[in-house]
Chain A
């Protein structure tokens, strides 16, 4: 980008600046800290200049939006054409209560839905299972059957609005509920749009809502890839997620490296099955965190896009759409304070701004009360309004990749990419992704980073406003969401009624067919769809798979 002579001149000028201006200045006005570090413990210099990116080749390394390597974005016009999707992750209590919340959010300008399920649903248990005790509707909505899914989307135009569902272990079954519900409403499965998270690798690594061991889990995921591009072509069959890895305490670099590494692992499994990369790759999507360090987050998204495009090309992808990294972003729940909760609005604004400047396709902004409980209606509305302010008032949407070309951002983007490849070398040496999980490599890396971060907060090397500085001793005065206490009873009665009223002979035939298919290597999606259409519950369907596949128990390391 710079010619040699020009660079020499800049370097010479910089040396003079250090000697004459900078060094003189800090004699009288020393810097606040000896060392400035970002959240991945990379040292950050006080000034970046062209010689920090002296190797860079604009056309090869950066290019243009909508063209390889997609560093500047996947669309030529980005938000000048269409804004990102305002998609608030939401769900609590029963399907009735959550349906009401969805309508409320849509009425207030939300443009996409995102379902949070409760723990029993995430583990493939019905509400009346013994392991569900105490968990009904607590951190998401309880969905135990097709009936619940019908109620959840009652009156919502699922032929128009897209829905993302955070479901992993039993993703095949919950997706089948959604498809079956559309079909019962005479909506063609070929036109419904949305996403299932369906990313089991990060469950073993960080989020921990796994059910089956890795091999059958990977098989189920490849089943969804195949069924998806053939039958539900507008559906994103996976959302490869760094969010939870970050929430578990990883650094930004670890989030980037582990997540894109997982993505490539899925591609390899699908190729092993014999699928054509350009058939399924266009429906792969990503999900990242937006944490506190503003520029680091922006560099992370940019690096992710470039790495993915490069690696997919290496794996043989030809269609441009197979090279595009499309991603959702959520602001960092773990960065919120329970102390002075209102100040979380400011944190969320900055994090969301980083996601937007980084080029996200959809965004969830956290509510201020989430370190205390699930969001109240008002808190959820303010969070949505925060996105709308960024979109409509700030002007950051007027140009594509506004920080592209910044010496600091380009240097940091390169640095994060380089460190990603270093992590991949380590994983390769451990025998690949699954073997690194079994050996506890990721889990240890994350636990170490999270402990180091916590210690730095406790030693006040890092400041968290309201937590270790500027504390106040005042009672917290924000309303906490209260749920319908009758919800659980209603749900259990509904399950009893379903089991009594359905055609039980048909139901049993379908479960037997599923078991047989699970024991073979057939694609399980059609069998699961038959089961849920005959009102087999989540727990009943999942139990068949548990019987055939077994359950995963993780090595408990801390």
Chain B
């Protein structure tokens, strides 16, 4: 049997807006993936530790506070340090257009804003998952 794609949905920092993260978590589960949700208030260290322990293929970050340029990049940096570059990282939230290319350069492969169709996220993950 084919191994299911394992996804960690994570909320870095202090932001409490979890509506989007919860919707995406459900949509990925309904699409047949195994989803682990960290809950709120995670540091980059906590997220990467969970990613290692749970042996996930994908990390999905959600942030609506505007701190994405710091906190998303903290996570990709730390994943790299731990030799987990093959984990696909995607992110979403209130992200100005100008920031998206910078995030992509820093290793957040997919950036999804408000109004994104959940199927597009599912397709993106299926197409780009590396493990």
Contacts and interface: CB of A to CB of B under 8 A. Distances in A.
Interface of A: 119-120, 122-123, 125, 131-135, 138-139, 203, 207-209, 247-249, 334, 336-339, 371-374, 447, 450-451, 454, 458, 464, 466-468, 475-476, 480, 553-554, 556, 558
Contacts of B18: 208, 248
Contacts of B14: 119-120, 122-123, 125, 131-132, 135, 209
B115 A338 contact: yes
Residue among A134, A249, A468 with most chain B CB within 10 A:
A134
A539 to B, nearest CB: 13
B66 A138 contact: yes
Contacts of B64: 139
Contacts of A207: 16
Residue among A247, A248, A468 with most chain B CB within 10 A:
A248
Nearest to A476: B97
Contacts of A339: 115
A139 B118 CA distance: 26
A373 B16 contact: no
B96 interface: yes
B22 A135 contact: no
B2 to A, nearest CB: 24
B19 A556 contact: no
A135 B13 contact: yes
B84 to A, nearest CB: 21
A447 B71 contact: no
28 contacts: A119-B14, A119-B15, A123-B14, A125-B14, A131-B13, A131-B41, A133-B67, A133-B70, A134-B70, A138-B65, A138-B67, A139-B64, A208-B16, A247-B17, A247-B19, A337-B115, A339-B115, A372-B94, A372-B97, A373-B66, A373-B94, A447-B26, A451-B26, A454-B118, A458-B118, A467-B115, A553-B39, A554-B40
Q: Main SS of chain A's interface residues?
A: loop
B115 A119 contact: no
A34 B116 CA distance: 27
Contacts of B17: 208, 247-248
A392 B38 CA distance: 49
A134 B71 contact: yes
B19 A249 contact: yes
What 5 A-B pairs are tightest by C-beta distance, nearest first?
A134-B70, A208-B16, A556-B39, A138-B66, A134-B67
Interface string B86-116: 0000000010111000000000000001110
Contact of B23 (A247, A372, A451): A451
A466 B115 CA distance: 9
A545 to B, nearest CB: 17
Given A208-B40, A454-B27, 20 more contacts: A125-B14, A131-B41, A133-B70, A133-B74, A134-B13, A134-B71, A138-B65, A138-B67, A209-B14, A334-B19, A337-B114, A339-B115, A372-B97, A374-B66, A451-B23, A454-B23, A458-B117, A480-B96, A556-B40, A558-B37
Interface string B43-87: 100000000000000000000111101110010000000000000
A464 B65 contact: no
Contacts of A135: 13-14, 65-67
A275 to B, nearest CB: 30
Contacts of B118: 454, 458
B9 to A, nearest CB: 8
Given A139-B66, A337-B115, A371 B94 contact: yes
Contacts of A371: 94, 113-115
B56 to A, nearest CB: 16
Given A338-B113, A480-B98, A209 B67 contact: no
A458 B27 CA distance: 11
B25 interface: yes
A84 B48 CA distance: 49
Nearest to A370: B94
B8 interface: no
A476 to B, nearest CB: 6
Contacts of B97: 372, 475-476
Nearest to A334: B19
Contacts of B19: 247-249, 334, 450
A207 B16 CA distance: 6
Contacts of B98: 480
A71 B97 CA distance: 45
Nearest to B97: A476
A207 B38 CA distance: 17
Nearest to B16: A208
Nearest to B69: A134
B26 A119 contact: no
Nearest to B64: A139
Interface string B20-43: 011101110000000101111101
A468 B114 CA distance: 12
Nearest to B25: A558
B32 to A, nearest CB: 16
Nearest to A339: B115
Residue among A247, A334, A339, A556 with most chain B CB within 10 A:
A556
B53 to A, nearest CB: 16
Nearest to B118: A458
Contacts of B23: 249, 450-451, 454
A558 B22 contact: yes
Contacts of A249: 19, 23
A174 to B, nearest CB: 16
A558 B26 contact: yes
Contact of B96 (A247, A373, A447): A373
A454 B115 CA distance: 9
